[in-house]
Structure 1
Amino acid sequence: MSLLITFDLDNTLWDVAPVIMRAEYAMESWFEDRFPGFSQQYPFSVREELKLEVLSNNPDIAPNLTAIRLAVYKLALKRFGLPSEEAVSVAGAALAHFCEWRQRVDLYPHVVDVLEELSQDYSLAVITNGNADVFHPYVGLGQYFDFAVRADQLGIAKPSVDVFSVAARNAGVDLSELVHIGDHPVDDVFGASNAGAKSVWFNRHGAQRWGDDWGARSHAEIHSLLELPTVIRSLIS
């Protein structure tokens, strides 16, 4: 049997909160070095308000976190007083700096060992709503994955069936031959199951209880990535 195993990234292979926090601090310094007073006038809380404004005016970019961030930078820089053309140029440079910091992840324990083991027998890929680049040297996992399906590049986000269909088509397998691992009950578990794939809920340390309003349960639940190879074998036996 052909089998494609797909992984969510944020909060599945690493904790995303400290990654974004470090990146935001780095951006404050980046902007302040170039435009003193910018970070004070447009701190994170204000940029979140601008994000809502951007999405209100451009709802079609909602799945694309990269495009949203770029639009927020452009808007903030223009309102700070930069001419439009300069704001566009600076926003692009700022986004590039953010994306570099966005890749500085700290992997959960056993990630490399588990991916190494699984990649010996199965095809592995990524399905993510985030903008982490699993093939970036800072992440250091590219050798284990055949491809990545990213919402910011596809323009569609989980839990859409189309996202999982693209992954299956890329690998040349049927959706019934896809097993998706992720932490999010809706985006990952419901999304995969609704598409006709199998889902594994990564409930790290068993910290969460399944919510009655989340829909159908996953085909399997793991509390440590070390459990994954055994669970995969049980799902295809």
Structure 2
Amino acid sequence: MSILVTFDLDNTLWDVAPVIVRAEYAMESWFDERFPGFSTLFSSTLKEALKVQVQLDAPEMAFNLTALRLAVYRLALKRFGLPSEEADAIAKAALAHFCEWRQKVDLYPHVVDILEALSQDYALAVITNGNADVFHPYIGLGQYFDFAIRADEIGMAKPEADIFSIAAQKAGVDISKLIHIGDHPVDDVLGASNAGARSVWFNRHGAQRWGDDWGSSSHAEVHSLLELPIVIRSLTL
């Protein structure tokens, strides 16, 4: 296949907000079962403050959401009174629990049908800044994708042009043969354009207008995933 179609995940194939809310509630219960009062002491506001502190101490973690969350858990547990070695072990166990909940997504309508249709004609892959694992059985979409490029695994994030180039190289196609689909005007659209790829802006329900300060516009715009087969075909003619 000479065309590689890549997908963003969060807010492109599912709504990420409820996923994170559910996962955070699950984590509160997980911590309180083991350390009563932990979630009360470390409120969401304080956890955000710890996150800022971690990013100031290690700015290279900004793109690595997995490592950042682990560091916040570790710091919170140490402040709760755990010795460093125990805090590290508990933080890793907590992260594993969070990552399980992170995969419990509710797919947008028609995702499976569209991926099934597109996979008949194109190579499909993922380029994501998040830490969802598209091959996890909870998500159940692994059979449609050849591979996934995750920011937390390769050390860079969209809109860096190189992340799109890595995907093209992995698929063995020229970057001009990559078509990226995503909801974010900068991370997805501008990033792909700067790399020399083409982009499709997923503006769900047409809820947004293109901002003048967002940079170059996408090669195409869709308001429903059902539009993708026709739009992608038009971009390959």
**TM-score between the two structures when normalised by the length of structure 1:** 0.99
The separation in 2 between residues aligned to 1:133 and 1:57, in whole angstroms, is 28
**Structure 1 residue aligned with 2:167:** 167
**Structure 2 residue aligned with 1:186:** 186
Residues 53-97 of structure 1, C-alpha deviations (whole Å, 9 max, x = no match) = 000000011110000000000000000000000000000000000
Q: Does 1:145 align with 2:145?
A: yes
**Structure 1 residue aligned with 2:215:** 215
The separation in 2 between residues aligned to 1:20 and 1:63, in whole angstroms, is 17
**Structure 1 residue aligned with 2:99:** 99
**Structure 2 residue aligned with 1:66:** 66
**Structure 2 residue aligned with 1:134:** 134
The Cα of 1:44 is off from its aligned counterpart by: 1.7
- 2:57 maps to amino acid: N
The separation in 2 between residues aligned to 1:44 and 1:71, in whole angstroms, is 15
Write out the 4+ residue segments of structure 1 that deviate beyond 4 Å after TM superposition.
none
SS of equivalent to 1:30: helix
Residues 28-73 of structure 1, C-alpha deviations (whole Å, 9 max, x = no match) = 0000000001000112221111000000000011110000000000
- 2:105 maps to amino acid: V
SS of equivalent to 1:213: coil
**Aligned residue pairs, count:** 237
The separation in 2 between residues aligned to 1:45 and 1:97, in whole angstroms, is 21
**Structure 2 residue aligned with 1:3:** 3
The Cα of 1:24 is off from its aligned counterpart by: 0.1
The separation in 2 between residues aligned to 1:6 and 1:186, in whole angstroms, is 16
**Structure 2 residue aligned with 1:23:** 23
Q: Does 1:156 align with 2:188?
A: no
**Structure 1 residue aligned with 2:76:** 76
SS of equivalent to 2:189: helix
Residues 135-175 of structure 1, C-alpha deviations (whole Å, 9 max, x = no match) = 00000000000000000001100000110011001000010
- Backbone CA RMSD of aligned residues: 0.6
- 2:96 maps to amino acid: A
**Structure 2 residue aligned with 1:38:** 38
Gaps of 5+ in 1: none
**TM-score between the two structures when normalised by the length of structure 2:** 0.99
- 1:99 maps to amino acid: C
**Structure 2 residue aligned with 1:88:** 88
SS of equivalent to 1:126: strand
Gaps of 5+ in 2: none
The Cα of 1:198 is off from its aligned counterpart by: 0.2
**Structure 1 residue aligned with 2:199:** 199
**Structure 2 residue aligned with 1:47:** 47
What is the aligned-residue identity percentage? Answer: 77
- 1:209 maps to amino acid: R
